[in-house]
A = this chain, B = another copy of it.
Amino acid sequence: MKKEIYLDHASTTYTDPRVLGAMLPYFSEKYGNPQSRHSKGKEALIAIDNAREKIAEILNCRPSEIIFTSGGTESNNLAIFGTARANQKKGKKIITSKIEHSSVIAPFKKLEKEKFKITYLDVDNEGFIDPRKLKKSIKHDTKLVSIMYANNEIGTIQKISKIGKICREKGIIFHTDACQAAGLNLNTQKLKVDLMSLNAGKIYGPKGIGILYKKREIKIEPIIYGGGQEMELRSGTHNVPAIVGIAKALEIAREEREKENNRLKELRNYLIEGILKIKDTHLNGPKANRLPNNINIYFEDIDADLLVLSLDEAGIYCSTASACKAQTTESSHVLSAIGLSENQAQSSIRFSLGKKTTQKDIDYTLKTLTQLIKKMRKY
């Protein structure tokens, strides 16, 4: 059998068997529509109520502040379009950063066509925004700030509670995209966020399900209309198995977080140190305050696409940039924002470790990579 070392967990993860186990009864046995009034419907309603309560406990919020969506992209779209359009009479200025995920940037590009004014904050060479600069950028008609919790490409973890504090003081709505951050602290009160996006497909849960935490006081406009599910904010028949699944995935993430993060950090540091022993290689992104599973490396004089394909042949799966944009030929806007040239960005690859990643996997990866780079540079 072909070796398979999956180092692309930031792109998507397998579904944890415990999560799938929790979901399975809801496909063919407890298959009711939670909106139905009969027992079969109530059985499903109880399942999604329980999931909502469990998630609310993890996020330290009210169950009614959890909106189920079809994934991280929809959660980000709902947060951004929803807030911007519902509050536009009070102001059309919005602040975000230059390193957001495409599912945040693309809605902002669309809002610019609707006459919203978006400020894209610079980041430093490790990907951090400067909270003081953020504070200065806030005008009287700024209504929304959206800054991601942890970056999907270079792993930079922003000081979310500090940003939250500034926004609270200024009376501005604060959204964070936490799709890469489920392994971090998700306490919405401590983080001082008003809106927070999460999804399951990157945290060993099923694809096709996401959450938007929305603080009760915040008004948003739906993007999908119909039967009025999710407090009139997201219509459509509830995806019961997936809702059960995301709750279970978040529960497991919380339980295993500390131990798993420590394990991953050790493996990550070991891999980074090993790679940097190869001549003319550089770490992209921060040394501290970095996602425990993220590694992003610039290899001088190496075509990253070719390297990814060569690693693939050796059974090592990693990526050049965000998988969410992998079909485009543009180089990474994140790497560009931290100061890399287009050439440097196109010589950079990302490894993202996961639960099943072992020391042995990392050793094999290091060995293979060292040989490959040598060979590729020779030609």
Query: Residues on A close to B: CB < 8 A?
Result: 4, 6, 8, 11-17, 20, 27-29, 31-33, 35-41, 70-74, 76-77, 101-103, 106-107, 109-110, 199, 201, 206-209, 223-229, 235-242, 305, 308-309, 311-312, 317-320, 322-328
In the complex where A11-B33, A228-B325, A228-B327 touch, is A102 in contact with B317 (Cβ < 8 A)? no
CB of A5 to closest CB in B, whole Å: 10
- For the complex, what is the distance from the CA of A13 to the CA of B209, rounded to whole Å? 20
* Central interface residue in A17, A223, A229, by most chain B CB within 10 Å: A223
CB of A118 to closest CB in B, whole Å: 13
Enumerate chain B residues within 8 angstroms of A227, measured Cβ to Cβ: 73, 102-103, 106, 322, 324-325
Enumerate chain B residues within 8 angstroms of A39, measured Cβ to Cβ: 312, 317
5 new A-B contacts, CB < 8 A, other than A102-B228, A102-B235, are A41-B317, A70-B70, A70-B208, A103-B225, A103-B235
* Central interface residue in A31, A237, A238, A322, by most chain B CB within 10 Å: A237
- For the complex, what is the distance from the CA of A32 to the CA of B319, rounded to whole Å? 12
Enumerate chain B residues within 8 angstroms of A241, measured Cβ to Cβ: 206-207
- For the complex, what is the distance from the CA of A81 to the CA of B72, rounded to whole Å? 21
CB <8 Å contact, A319 and B36: yes
Enumerate chain B residues within 8 angstroms of A326, measured Cβ to Cβ: 35-37, 41
CB <8 Å contact, A207 and B238: yes
- For the complex, what is the distance from the CA of A235 to the CA of B106, rounded to whole Å? 10
Enumerate chain B residues within 8 angstroms of A226, measured Cβ to Cβ: 73, 76-77, 101-103, 106-107, 324
Can you give 24 A-B contacts (C-beta < 8 A)? A8-B33, A8-B41, A35-B325, A36-B317, A36-B326, A37-B309, A38-B311, A41-B323, A70-B74, A70-B208, A73-B237, A74-B224, A103-B227, A107-B225, A110-B225, A207-B238, A207-B241, A207-B242, A208-B208, A208-B242, A223-B224, A226-B324, A227-B325, A235-B324
CB <8 Å contact, B37 and A12: no
Interface residues of chain A: helix, strand, loop or mixed (majority):
loop
CB of A227 to closest CB in B, whole Å: 3
| Residue in chain B with minimal CB distance to A313 | B39
| Residue in chain B with minimal CB distance to A238 | B207
| Residue in chain B with minimal CB distance to A319 | B36
Enumerate chain B residues within 8 angstroms of A327, measured Cβ to Cβ: 35, 228
CB of A80 to closest CB in B, whole Å: 9
CB <8 Å contact, A38 and B237: no
- For the complex, what is the distance from the CA of A13 to the CA of B327, rounded to whole Å? 36
Enumerate chain B residues within 8 angstroms of A228, measured Cβ to Cβ: 102, 106, 325, 327-328
